[in-house]
Amino acid sequence: MKSTLDRTRLRELMDRELARFEQGHPRSRELFERGKANLLGGVPMPWMTEWAGPYPVFVAEAQGARFTDVDGREYVDLCLGDTGGMTGHAPKEAVAAIAEQAAKGITLMLPTEDSIWVGAEMQRRFGLPYWQFCLTATDANRFTIRLARAITGRPKILVYNYCYHGSVDETIITIEDGVAGPRPGNVGPPIDPTETTRVVEFNDLDALEEALAHEDVACVLAEPALTNIGIVLPDPGYHDALRELTREHGTYLVIDETHCICAGPGGATKAWGLQPDFLTIGKPLASGVPAATYGMTEEVARRASAYLQTLPTTDVGGIGGTLSGNALSLAAMRATLEHVLTDEAFDRMIALGERWSHGVKDAIEQHALPWNVQRLGCRAEYWFTPDPPRNGGEAAANDDHELARYTHLYALNRGILLTPFHNMALMSPATTEEDVDAHSSVFDEMAAELAR
Ligand SMILES: Cc1ncc(COP(=O)(O)O)c(C=O)c1O
């Protein structure tokens, strides 16, 4: 169901914003055209075609919560590399550690002492005692799923409708018109994901119980709250029931904290007292240097070690990679956790998330728009619906791509960058009240014009 805006007027406003964008970004256009000679679609990665303008802005430099583009325009960055830059760009302690380690050797396929510090810090934050390192959250999820399947001997996993856990084939599945199948948009799925995966709606305990009752599910892979189809929070008691049901059916619970780290220094796991068997996280852990990790309980570690000992070799095990656990990632992770994404930083970031939400909510109320705002710690998001959706299916049905493109381009033209796939803003340790208020005032202007 789409909001009842005057679409003709919306298109006229969008044309005005497109013209403004083109006028203000000639150098980005030039680079984009040049890029087409050697880059598919003119960009280094397909997602970079998803921005609201006709071409992406090319970045000259980023510092803290701001960046400058090649046309000399400055932006408040509320996208922060879709969480990869949640530390703020180029935090000085991490940059120093990265430079120092780069000069001392980047990758050796041998451990460095930093790995021990980081393992202990992960336990302090998330409670799980044993950790392994890799380069992306996708890999952390992939490796965890493999281990869960191997040690339970069960073939399937379970995920939520419209979840996102990276490019993990088993997870790219949706329910369309009541039928599970490959998610629209997935490129070349290797097999029908219903062969590997059960999928249910978030917050639907009956569906979860029915799916687990087959006792063929090795693990549930869950974000504590959905964050990739907008923020969808769990119903009260949902996580307790999820934990109870997974235990009852011998299914492991994997909590993916890659985005929900926004809830606090120990993510939603610590903030809400979750008790996962495995935990996965990547993206901001090393201030933008590729780094990710997965943790496990004592019981899982014991079973995993026993299983791994039965293998003739681990190098084709599918749970590692040449660059995994490299010295540079670990040094960057240590500096990030020790000095940047600290407990104190989260207090400030979460207060800014609240401030951002209030700014948006005030404008929504002031201009009587049928929208709402949802928040998880230092991540917040507006929805074009009066109430927040309760699950991925509802969220996807309420997607209003045309309106989102407009609100994003409006903000971009006025120096604010939002996350392209949804209406989301993230606060970093470097974000200021002034940055947040800049968004509130642009959002208010935009809302006033739309409501007219
Ligand atoms: C919850 C979650 N898990 C995993 C991933 C995958 O991260 P990456 O693309 O860095 O592998 C993402 C990416 O958006 C994510 O949101």
Q: Model confidence over 281-310: pLDDT tens digits?
A: 999 999 999 999 999 999 999 999 999 999
Kindly give the distance from the C-alpha atom of residue 166 to the centroid of ligand 1, in angstroms, as a whole number.
Answer: 4
Kindly give the distance from the C-alpha atom of residue 140 to the centroid of ligand 1, in angstroms, as a whole number.
Answer: 9
**Cβ atoms 121, 191 nearer than 8 A:** no
Question: Which pTM value belongs to this model?
Answer: 0.97
The ligand 1 site (C-beta within 6 Å) comprises 82, 136-138, 141, 164-166, 223, 228, 256, 258-259, 282-283
Kindly give the distance from the C-alpha atom of residue 446 to the centroid of ligand 1, in angstroms, as a whole number.
Answer: 31
Looking up tokens 């039928």, which residue turns up?
179
For helices 7-24 and 26-35, give the axis angle rounded to 10 degrees. Answer: 90
Q: Which helix (H) or strand (E) holds 242?
A: helix 238-248
Kindly give the distance from the C-alpha atom of residue 449 to the centroid of ligand 1, in angstroms, as a whole number.
Answer: 35
For residues 116 and 2, the model is more confident at 116
Q: Model confidence over 393-413: pLDDT tens digits?
A: 999 999 999 999 999 999 999
Over its C-alpha atoms, the chain yields an Rg (Å, rounded) of 22
Q: In whole angstroms, what is the distance from residue 292 CA to residue 286 CA? A: 8
Q: In whole angstroms, what is the distance from residue 437 CA to residue 352 CA? A: 10
Q: Model confidence over 222-278: pLDDT tens digits?
A: 999 999 999 999 999 999 999 999 999 999 999 999 999 999 999 999 999 999 999
Q: Model confidence over 29-50: pLDDT tens digits?
A: 999 999 999 999 999 999 999 9
Q: In whole angstroms, what is the distance from residue 416 CA to residue 338 CA? A: 29
Kindly give the distance from the C-alpha atom of residue 317 to the centroid of ligand 1, in angstroms, as a whole number.
Answer: 22
Best of 45, 79, 86, 138 for a ligand 1 pocket test (most atoms within 8 Å of beta carbon): 138
**Cβ atoms 284, 85 nearer than 8 A:** yes
Best of 258, 324, 426 for a ligand 1 pocket test (most atoms within 8 Å of beta carbon): 258
Question: First CA to last CA across the chain, in angstroms?
Answer: 22
For helices 343-366 and 433-451, give the axis angle rounded to 10 degrees. Answer: 20
DSSP assignment string, 179-228 = EEEEPTT-SS-SS-GGGTEEEE-TT-HHHHHHHHTTS-EEEEEE-SSB-B
Q: In whole angstroms, what is the distance from residue 451 CA to residue 162 CA? A: 31
Query: What is residue 158's DSSP assignment?
Result: E
Q: Would you mind telling me the total number of residues written for the chain in this entry?
A: 452
Residue-level pLDDT at 4: 73
Query: What is residue 338's DSSP assignment?
Result: I
DSSP assignment string, 251-265 = -EEEEE-TTGGGG-T
Q: Which atom of ligand 1 is nearest to the CA of 166?
A: 6
Q: Which atom of ligand 1 is nearest to the CA of 290?
A: 10
Kindly give the distance from the C-alpha atom of residue 293 to the centroid of ligand 1, in angstroms, as a whole number.
Answer: 12
Q: In whole angstroms, what is the distance from residue 147 CA to residue 160 CA? A: 20
Atom 13 in ligand 1: which residue has the minimum CA distance?
166
Q: Which residues pair with 281 in a beta bridge?
A: 293
Kindly give the distance from the C-alpha atom of residue 91 to the centroid of ligand 1, in angstroms, as a whole number.
Answer: 22
Residue 256 amino acid letter: D
Which residues fall within 8 angstroms of residue 212, CB to CB, at 6 or more apart?
158, 220, 245, 246, 248, 249, 251
How many helices and strands, by DSSP H and E, does the chain display? Answer: 14, 16
Q: What is the pairing mode between strands 424-426 and 179-182?
A: unpaired
Q: Model confidence over 69-105: pLDDT tens digits?
A: 999 999 999 999 999 999 999 999 999 999 999 999 9
Residue-level pLDDT at 1: 45
Supply 206's token pair: 């009956």
Q: Which atom of ligand 1 is nearest to the CA of 138?
A: 11
Q: In whole angstroms, what is the distance from residue 400 CA to residue 409 CA? A: 14
Phi, psi of 158 (to 5 degrees): -130, 135
Which residues fall within 8 angstroms of residue 45, CB to CB, at 6 or more apart?
none
**Cβ atoms 343, 349 nearer than 8 A:** no
Whether residue 314 has pLDDT greater than 80 = yes
Q: Model confidence over 136-177: pLDDT tens digits?
A: 999 999 999 999 999 999 999 999 999 999 999 999 999 999
Sign of CA dihedral 441, 444, 450, 452: negative
Supply 40's token pair: 């598919």
Q: In whole angstroms, what is the distance from residue 190 CA to residue 196 CA? A: 11
Query: What is residue 167's DSSP assignment?
Result: S
- Which of 78, 424, 386, 84 lies closest to 229, judged by CA? 424
Kindly give the distance from the C-alpha atom of residue 192 to the centroid of ligand 1, in angstroms, as a whole number.
Answer: 22
Residue-level pLDDT at 2: 55
Atom 15 in ligand 1: which residue has the minimum CA distance?
165
What is the pLDDT confidence band of residue 376, given thresholds at 50, 70 and 90?
very high
* SS3 label, residue 104: helix
Q: Which atom of ligand 1 is nearest to the CA of 283?
A: 10
Atom 4 in ligand 1: which residue has the minimum CA distance?
165
Phi, psi of 159 (to 5 degrees): -135, 175
Kindly give the distance from the C-alpha atom of residue 258 to the centroid of ligand 1, in angstroms, as a whole number.
Answer: 6
